[in-house]
Amino acid sequence: MSRESHSTKERILLVDVSNSFTKIAIARKGVIGAVRKIRTSDLPSAKLSSLKVDRAVIASVVPSAAKILRSKLRCPVIWINHKTSGVCISYPKPSTIGADRLSNVAGVVSLGKLPAIVVDFGTAVTFDVIDGSGCYLGGIIAPGLSTAAAALHERTALLPLTRIQRISAPFGKSTQQAIRIGLLLGAVGIVREVVGRISRESFAGIAPTVFATGGDAGLVARLSESSGGKQVIDHVDPLLTLRGLLVIASRGR
């Protein structure tokens, strides 16, 4: 079942399990329905066995989640990895690439705006590089904003645990403001540097299309637009990983 899956009444369960949160949605006819977001630590108590679905596609970066989901689901499941993703990969050890990252790549390649870079702002900030033919080349991993904020709190005596929020000044008038500004401006800076360097050194100066997803993507994108210079993020899509799962499902793999 490939193209036909979007034109039937088939219900496809999409599950994106990350370290902090799990997103769950049901897709029909190529449309993703309401997204349910739960803490991954709460997955054992999630009521999934009663869902009326025909099959499921799951991207998980939490190994212990597989056993939990297998016990709850009563339908065929595609577990995303380098063999099932359908993504062209030019990478020495493709089995080490995260399932969420492969799903992001599948979603972006389906849009045809290549070459491209996917930035996922989650527990970690990941960059994934796709060439003009839609082949995955490699990536970059940096601490996520919330992860960095927690590390500052845990590794210092006086710095408070700080929630990432929108900023409106170039420097802080309180410790928490200073931490937010440092982390968010740092995120803008790393995106600019990564995109610029990859454009020059890997794509012969051709600017890749930059897609952003993840919890802090919108904040960083808005801040980069207001900070002057060339816009660094072209598209923000909070559902990119789920869209990639649906693309993979549509191939009937």
Q: How far apart are CA 15 and CA 242, in angstroms?
A: 7
pTM strictly above 0.75: yes
| Averaged pLDDT, 30-38 | 95
Phi, psi (degrees; rounded to nearest 5) at 126 = -115, 145
pLDDT tens per residue, range 213-234:
999 999 999 998 866 667 789 9
Report pLDDT for 50. 84
Whose tokens are 């079942």? That residue is 1
DSSP 170: S
| Averaged pLDDT, 21-43 | 95
Contacts of 91 (CB under 8 A, 6+ apart): 97, 136, 137, 138
Q: How far apart are CA 19 and CA 74, in angstroms?
A: 24
Structure tokens at 159: 């710095």
As annotated, the residues of the chain forming the CATH 3.30.420.40 domain(s) are 3-83+245-250, 88-101+112-242
Given the residues 16, 100, 120, 216, select the one marked as catalytic.
100
65 CB neighbour count, 10 Å cutoff: 18
Whose tokens are 């997103």? That residue is 23
Whether residue 24 is predicted with pLDDT greater than 50 in this model: the reply is yes
What DSSP element (H or E) covers 186?
helix 175-202
The one-letter amino acid at 205: G
| Averaged pLDDT, 98-107 | 97
DSSP 121: E
β pairing state of 55-60 and 77-79: parallel
Q: Is 216 a catalytic residue?
A: no
CATH 3.30.420.40 fits 3-83+245-250, yes or no: yes
Percent residues over pLDDT 70 in the chain:
94
pLDDT tens per residue, range 113-167:
999 999 999 999 999 999 999 999 999 999 999 999 999 999 999 999 999 999 9
Superfamily of domain 88-101+112-242: ATPase, nucleotide binding domain (3.30.420.40)
| Closest-CA residue to 183 (of 211, 141, 143, 239) | 143
Give CA separation, 31 vs 26, 77, 114, 144, 211, in Å: 8, 19, 23, 30, 20
What DSSP element (H or E) covers 187?
helix 175-202
